[in-house]
Amino acid sequence: MIPVDALPILDDTFAEAFPLTAAKVIVTADHPRLALSAARAATGNASSIIGCDAEAGIDCELEPHLTPDGRPGIGLLFFGFSRPALEKALVSRIGQSILTCPTTACFNGLPVDPDKALKVGAQLRFFGDGWQASKKIGDRRFWRIPVMDGEFLVEESFGTTKGVAGGNLILMCRDAAGGLDAAEACAEAMRGVPGVILPFPHGIVRAGSKVGSRYKGLKASTNTEYCPTLASRVSTKLPPGTAVVYELVADGLDLASLEESTRRGIRAAMDCRSVLKVSAGNYGGKLGPHHLHLRRIAGADFGYGVARC
């Protein structure tokens, strides 16, 4: 049994991240609460690209002076396998969850390359049934769609960039309550980096998965190596005394943001007494081109992490 006052171990491993197409959406409304409701709905059921049409989350809250229409807003990030897939997801999600929410409007948050842009407003406009109207202000085209409380304004095209998805940390903790506190602190630290989202509910994953299953047709199944209740039955990666394991999954608009988020997450986790070990998931380097080595990212100045483990 590891002593209670022992310092956490920072595993000598890496998180394996991979490129996904990313878009940034700014949703505004008359009141922050409405913008937040629309934002939460639009980014719902978007935890993993394995089973959802996109990975999505709230990036940041925006003060009125930072939004295109001078109203309170929320910045959202969406990640998809390809531009067509992401376009389809955005049209569906904005159409169902933002267009329908009172007083909202929806704007692009990334530079637009016409060859790589997603046609979002250009498709949603047809909801106007012939009464939609376009406005070009500067070099941006908007669509005004009549709705029951006035008009829904949506930008015609949304820019994309090559984002990085699959950043992760795995926290192995000695007790349930302390483990949850650690995961929450870690998530808070990680999502503090602009351009990074944690797409799972509350930013924390309790159901980490491995590729494949004994059941035909299932793409993923529970990650038995990290299940404390199976520790004596299967090959395990858990140190003795592990009661709970939580995973933090992050997607970023670029690798630098994701690395900074990972760095903050490591530091937050290592400060928690409940954490026995901090690790990360990978596929042996076979899946993604980006390897986020925990000890490199934590930094040479990171005293009790790298030096003592």
Partner 1 sequence: MLTLTLRHRDPVPLEAECVCPDRLMSMAIADIGRLRVWHGNRQTELAEHFQITGDGSDGRVRVEGDCSRVKMLGSGMASGCLLIAGNAGMHAGARMTGGELIIQGDAGDWAGAEMSGGLIRIGGSAGNLAGAAYRGSVHGMKGGMILVEGDAGDEVGASLRRGIIAVSGRVGDFCGVNAAAGTIVVGGRVGARAGAAMRRATIVTLGPAPDLLPTFHVCGTVSPTFLKVLARHLESHGFSGAEKLKGRFVRSCGDMVSLGKGEILYQAD
Name the β-bridge partners of 152.
Answer: 145
Binding of residue 142 to partner 1 (CB under 8 A): yes
> Look-up: residue for tokens 């829904």?
152
Cα distances (angstroms) measured from residue 309 to each of 11, 185, 237, 289: 8, 22, 16, 27
C-beta of 239: minimal distance to partner 1 in Å?
A: 55
Q: Which of 3, 138, 217, 284 binds partner 1 (CB under 8 A)?
A: 138
Touching partner 1, residues 242-271 (CB under 8 A): none
Q: Which of 8, 32, 57, 68 binds partner 1 (CB under 8 A)?
A: 68
258 and 164 Cβ atoms separated by less than 8 Å: yes
Binding of residue 70 to partner 1 (CB under 8 A): yes
C-beta of 135: minimal distance to partner 1 in Å?
A: 5
Q: Which of 82, 84, 111, 133 binds partner 1 (CB under 8 A)?
A: 133
Query: Using CB under 8 A, which of the segments 69-77, 191-199, 252-260, 277-285 binds partner 1?
Result: 69-77
C-beta of 273: minimal distance to partner 1 in Å?
A: 49
Strands 14-28 and 161-173: antiparallel
Q: Which of 2, 7, 151, 210 binds partner 1 (CB under 8 A)?
A: 151
Q: Using the minimum distance from each CB to partner 1, give the nearer residue, 38 or 171.
A: 38
CA atoms 180, 267, 307, 286: torsion sign: positive
How far apart are alpha carbons 200 and 55 in whole angstroms?
A: 9
Q: Which of 93, 144, 191, 237 binds partner 1 (CB under 8 A)?
A: 144
Q: Using the minimum distance from each CB to partner 1, give the nearer residue, 133 or 307.
A: 133
Strands 9-10 and 275-279: parallel
Q: Which of 8, 23, 71, 288 binds partner 1 (CB under 8 A)?
A: 71
List the beta strands (DSSP E) in the chain.
9-10, 14-28, 55-62, 73-80, 105-108, 118-119, 133-137, 140-147, 150-155, 157-158, 161-173, 196-197, 209-211, 220-222, 244-252, 275-279, 290-293
Residues contributing to the site for partner 1 (CB under 8 A): 28, 68-71, 105, 131, 133-138, 142, 144, 150-151, 153
